[in-house]
Amino acid sequence: MTETRDTSPMMVIGCERSAGAALARLADEGRELPPHVQWQSVPCGGSIDELMILEAFENGAERVMVVSCAAGACNSLVGDERARRRTAAARELLESVGVSSWRLRYETMAPNMGSDLLRWVDEFVAPEESIEQS
């Protein structure tokens, strides 16, 4: 586990076939998500919708990362595209009520990309200009 720069509550919502499989491989290696990061598994990235994302914020997450399969690798064929579109729609809703867009991130991954997921979590921090304005 790496030392993260931001330890505020974070939610990762991800496809069990890609991100979930990557987390299982990390666990086999004795690595895991940092304690401030909550994991929510879904059967397919296509089942992630705007309400699920907004509820993560409502339940205390300061940042939410949505993770689906890479383009062309989805078992459901279009789950990654649905997840991408719904994340973009949730971002627009959040911005309309004054929540900074950087707080919602979308990534795609394969089951062998657990180290990438840990790096993304570590790098998912406020942009420098947002910190300076605080």
Tell me: the pLDDT tens digits for 65-113? 999 998 777 777 788 899 999 999 999 999 999 999 999 999 999 999 9
Phi-psi region of 55 (alpha: psi -120 to 50; beta: other; left: phi over 0): alpha
- Residue of higher predicted confidence among 1 and 88: 88
- The CATH number assigned to the domain holding 111 equals 3.40.50
Is position 3 within any domain? no
* Residue 84 maps to a domain: yes
Does residue 2 lie within any of the structural domains? no
Asked whether residue 114 is domain-assigned, the answer is: yes
Examine residue 29 and state whether it is found in any structural domain, yes or no.
yes
> pLDDT confidence of 133, banded at 50, 70, 90?
very low
Residue 96 lies in a domain: yes
Total tally of structural domains belonging to the chain? 1
CA-CA distance, 132 to 134, in Å (whole number)?
Answer: 6
Q: Which residue type sits at 61?
A: A
134 pLDDT higher than 60:
no
Q: List, in order, residues 6 or more apart from 117 with CB less than 8 Å away.
A: 12, 19, 22, 23, 26, 33, 67, 107, 109
Q: Domain containing 78: what range?
A: 10-133
Confidence of residue 127 (pLDDT cuts 50, 70, 90): confident
